[in-house]
Amino acid sequence: MTTKGIWILIGSFLGVVILILIASWHLLKGRRRQSDDTPVEDEVGFAAPKALVFKDFGCRKMSLKEIYAATNNLRALNIIGQGIAGKVYKGVLPDGCHVAIKHIKDGYAETFMREVTSLSHIRHPNLVALQGYCEEEDECFLVYELCTNGNLSEWLFGKDKTLSWTQRLEIAIGSACGLWFLHTYPEGCIVHRDVKPTNILLGADFEAKLSDFGLSKVVDVGVSHVSSEVRGTFGYVDPEYRQNHRVNAAGDVYSFGIVLLQLLSGKRVINLNVMRRPMSSSRMPKIPTRGGELSDFADPRLRGEYSVEAFELSLNLALSCVAHKQQRPSMEQVVASLETALQISTTTESYSLSIY
């Protein structure tokens, strides 16, 4: 073989090697891109690319230094609450804004991600606003607006605190409006899955704000339900959900119905005897009212200062919420009924004042 032939052979060989290297590089790059863009589906149904899990949210990412400065180094005196996922501290940001800062415990990273993904881009007067988050040095914090009147549980079941009849109705309406907004969210129905008094915060004017979206789940548009293991708080979980593991808006309606019964009665435990099998709505009124006597069911702290007509309307509404799924109203219907009850109550109060 001539020298020229040898060089041609070597050149051809090098060309093939270069082509193989280029093809391998593109293949590796493609696999990395595919890995980075693979959706991460958590238990509650939020999917996001791995590289975007903590990016492009509507709230501000804060530094650990800012968190410690706001809470005076997580001072024990600043603790205002504690849940399963961690302690909550009151804090003050550099601009003077008062906030509530939740320190997420180790092992609750999924809860942290759900809260950020569900609340960061959603704003509504009856949903607690997530103002920022911190994810640094294996520490996770969520920064919320501060609701100065605590949570509904403190006012319903705590000592030396009481809510008037109209305040209860307004809190119920606010909570229902928040759920209505979530259930009709354009990108898919957001099911809260943990509606209860401790997760209904009260602002300065006792306006209700739903909080704690750590168990929330999205049901895509056009889909009736999604399957999931049973999650939530005992006593508020829909019995039908416990049986079929189907997550849908009806589960939140049931939980809200229990909360409404608590608002009406002031009782912490509502025993409807339906934990294993839902009961028809025709039988249920006899249980909480003990034969139909409203005075036996109404919270004694109301001292009879409520409209009987509005109370009965609200009670029947609550009972329809905890009936069979097919008999439950939508949250839009719940809001309409509660607003009617409030209108009746305010009209009755105005009339009562005018006759004296």
Q: Which positions are catalytic?
A: 194
Phi-psi region of 150 (alpha: psi -120 to 50; beta: other; left: phi over 0): left
Alpha helix ranges (H) inside the chain: 3-37, 64-70, 109-119, 152-157, 165-183, 239-244, 249-265, 294-297, 308-321, 331-354
- Cα 33 to Cα 30, 49, 339: the distances in Å are 5, 11, 52
Q: Decide: 152 and 210 in contact? Cβ < 8 Å.
A: no
CA atoms within 13 A on the CB side of 169: 24
- CA 302: distance to chain centroid? 29
**Residue 186 is which amino acid?**
P
Determine the distance from the C-alpha atom of residue 247 to the mean position of all C-alpha atoms in its chain, rounded to a whole number. 14
Number of CB atoms found within 10 A of residue 14's CB: 10
Cα distance between residue 55 and residue 53, in whole Å: 6
